[in-house]
Amino acid sequence: MPGFTKMREKLFYYSTNRYLNQQKGGKPHDNVSFREALLMGQAPDEGLFMPETIPQLSLNDILKLKGRPYPDAALLVAEAYLGADLPLETLKSVIESSYNYEVPLEKVVDRRYILRLDRGPTASFKDFAARMMARLMSHFRDPGKRLNVLVATSGDTGSAVGEAFKGVPGIDVYILYPRDEVSGRQKKQLDTIGGNVRTLSVEGKFDDCQNLVKQAFADASLSGLNLTSANSINFGRILPQMIYYVYAYAQLAEWGEEIVFSVPSGNFGDALGCEYARRMGLPVARLVMPTNENDEFPRFLETGLYEKIAPSRACLSNAMNVGHPSNLARFFDLYGGTVDRTGVVHKMPDLEAMRKHIFSVAVSDEETRQTIRRVYDQYGLLLEPHGAVGWRGLEQYLAQSGETSLCVSLETAHPAKFPEEIESLLGIIPELPASMRDIDLRSGEPLLMTADYESFRRFLITTLKAID
Ligand SMILES: *Cc1c(COP(=O)(O)O)cnc(C)c1O
């Protein structure tokens, strides 16, 4: 990997709720360093952390990445944010151990590509962010203290986070999942990680798991246990998601050429990475953000009225069943607006600017299925439901805009994670990716837990180690 000679200014992070707080007569919190943002996860005023300034990349530096391996792109982007916070050698080793798998760019048809983000250990794009965040946390934790990560999951996030922290020094992970709400294969992925990662199978629903975790974080009597969260609102998970846009652009584009990215979206963390990459200088003509039938955002772009969807609609692309995306607060903030955790808009963003840079459209389950069938017949391209939403959204955008730019659509999970759906649509059984091939042979058992807080608390007090 190349080195850098530039001196970086240390970046600080503010909360998306800062105006809200002032309106209420509160004092704005001091901005925090990356380390604090990473270890706190969420700001004390319940807003999300944002960098005060967005570092810039030169087109020259970006295009030097052409033909280079993924870790080189990761270093260019990560150094721009963290160059003043940790030594270059540390950053390099974080990156090299995070990104030791393929990142295929597949040509579908003239100037249209699929970026496959499904080759990590749990076969979803969440591996990209979780692996780098885990290693950064290990680096930034207080020396001598063990960090205890608590995660509530309904499936994919838990296994990505668990695998990411596996074997990471100084950190133990406890994953809570609802006993009767995860699939057999998901359960296998979770329970068999082992080592410093333990699973608790909770007699209850996902909400019960989340409540247990929230109560533990709020419980002052547990403050000695160094509890932390690894959820998707942590800025440490946004930063790694800027990298693959820069990487893909560098591999495919000619000097200064513009590119369109299509990003199937749920909580908007993935798409936010693209928004930041554009603001760092990447020539992105348009960010296409297709959703499934949870269409609160495309409706907002069209009408200017924001209405969250509660409860969220259960669609085929289940990792995107989100009725109020948590990272919407960050998008609003970048466009001059404020929306809170409950979905109330306090200040409108610049809607015209948003429409200029972002295109969003809802894709129904029916269209998702048709797309999987059609692109397989037409191009021999195998997509799973999330990737199909992305591709369909791109088609809709191109039909409406007449745009002819270079386009990349993201495939965010491996088709083998949806064997029944793929088999019923295409009559084939997708082959498991290398990382999952031995899944049925792995063994491991969860701890069984009732959904009452007192027993969870007792478990934490008797099990967790706070000293390394
Ligand atoms: C989480 C997830 C998404 C949605 O990503 P967001 O960052 O929440 O918008 C899309 N596809 C898959 C497979 C996912 O796991």
User: What mean pLDDT comes out for the span 166-187?
Assistant: 90
Our count of domains for the chain comes to 2
Q: Which of 117, 119, 125 to mutate to test the pocket of ligand 1 (most atoms within 8 A of CB)?
A: 125
**pLDDT class for 153, splitting at 50, 70, 90?**
confident
Q: Report the separation in Å between the CA atom of 296 and the middle of ligand 1, taken as the mean of its atom positions.
A: 16
**Does 319 sit in the ligand 1 pocket, CB within 6 Å?**
yes
Mean pLDDT of the chain: 93
User: What mean pLDDT comes out for the span 19-26?
Assistant: 70
* CA-based nearest residue to 398, from 413, 384, 388, 408: 408
Residue from 27, 92, 126, 166 carrying the catalytic annotation: 126
Asked whether residue 80 is assigned to any structural domain, the reply reads no
* CA-based nearest residue to 71, from 10, 135, 132: 132
Domain match, 119 and 130 both? no
**Does 385 sit in the ligand 1 pocket, CB within 6 Å?**
no
Asked whether residue 130 is assigned to any structural domain, the reply reads yes
Q: What does DSSP say about strands 49-51 and 105-109: parallel, antiparallel, or unpaired? A: unpaired
Domain match, 399 and 259 both? yes
> What are the start-end ranges of the H helices in 172-295?
184-191, 206-218, 235-238, 243-252, 269-279
Please report the pLDDT score of residue 218 as a whole number: 83
Domain match, 112 and 248 both? yes
Q: Which of 115, 239, 292, 320 to mutate to test the pocket of ligand 1 (most atoms within 8 A of CB)?
A: 320
Q: Report the separation in Å between the CA atom of 264 and the middle of ligand 1, taken as the mean of its atom positions.
A: 7
**Does 273 sit in the ligand 1 pocket, CB within 6 Å?**
no
pLDDT of 1 higher than 70: no
Please report the pLDDT score of residue 333 as a whole number: 97
pLDDT of 96 higher than 90: yes
| CATH code of residue 335 | 3.40.50.1100
Domain match, 120 and 191 both? no
**Does 126 sit in the ligand 1 pocket, CB within 6 Å?**
yes
Asked whether residue 95 is assigned to any structural domain, the reply reads no
Asked whether residue 84 is assigned to any structural domain, the reply reads no
Task: Quote the CA–CA distance of 280 and 57 in Å, as a whole number.
Answer: 6
Q: List C-alpha distances in Å: 99 to 115, 261, 443.
A: 15, 22, 26
**Does 265 sit in the ligand 1 pocket, CB within 6 Å?**
yes
**Does 269 sit in the ligand 1 pocket, CB within 6 Å?**
yes
Q: Evaluate whether 412 touches 118 at the Cβ level (below 8 Å).
A: yes
User: What mean pLDDT comes out for the span 367-377?
Assistant: 98
Domain match, 120 and 224 both? no
User: Cis (ω within 30 of 0) for the bond into 311?
Assistant: yes
* CA-based nearest residue to 392, from 405, 379, 401, 383: 383
Looking at the CA of residue 267, tell me the nearest atom of ligand 1: 8
281-313 pLDDT, tens digit per residue, is 999 999 999 999 999 999 999 999 999 999 889
**Does 413 sit in the ligand 1 pocket, CB within 6 Å?**
yes
Query: What residue owns the CA closest to ligand 1's atom 14?
Result: 319
Asked whether residue 27 is assigned to any structural domain, the reply reads no
Asked whether residue 110 is assigned to any structural domain, the reply reads yes
Asked whether residue 132 is assigned to any structural domain, the reply reads yes
Domain match, 367 and 451 both? no
**Does 266 sit in the ligand 1 pocket, CB within 6 Å?**
yes
Q: Which of 270, 315, 392, 418 to mutate to test the pocket of ligand 1 (most atoms within 8 A of CB)?
A: 270
**pLDDT class for 217, splitting at 50, 70, 90?**
confident
* Residue range(s) defining the domain that contains residue 405: 102-124+237-422
Domain match, 189 and 326 both? no
Domain match, 378 and 448 both? no
Residue 424: how many other CB atoms lie within 10 Å: 9
User: What mean pLDDT comes out for the span 100-123?
Assistant: 96
Please report the pLDDT score of residue 197 as a whole number: 97
Asked whether residue 364 is assigned to any structural domain, the reply reads yes
Domain match, 445 and 388 both? no
Please report the pLDDT score of residue 141 as a whole number: 92
Domain match, 190 and 215 both? yes
pLDDT of 407 higher than 60: yes
64 is catalytic: no
Q: Which helix (H) or strand (E) holds 301?
A: helix 296-303
Domain match, 335 and 278 both? yes
Looking at the CA of residue 269, tell me the nearest atom of ligand 1: 7
Domain match, 188 and 337 both? no
Q: Which two tokens stand for residue 319?
A: 């990792």
pLDDT of 154 higher than 90: no
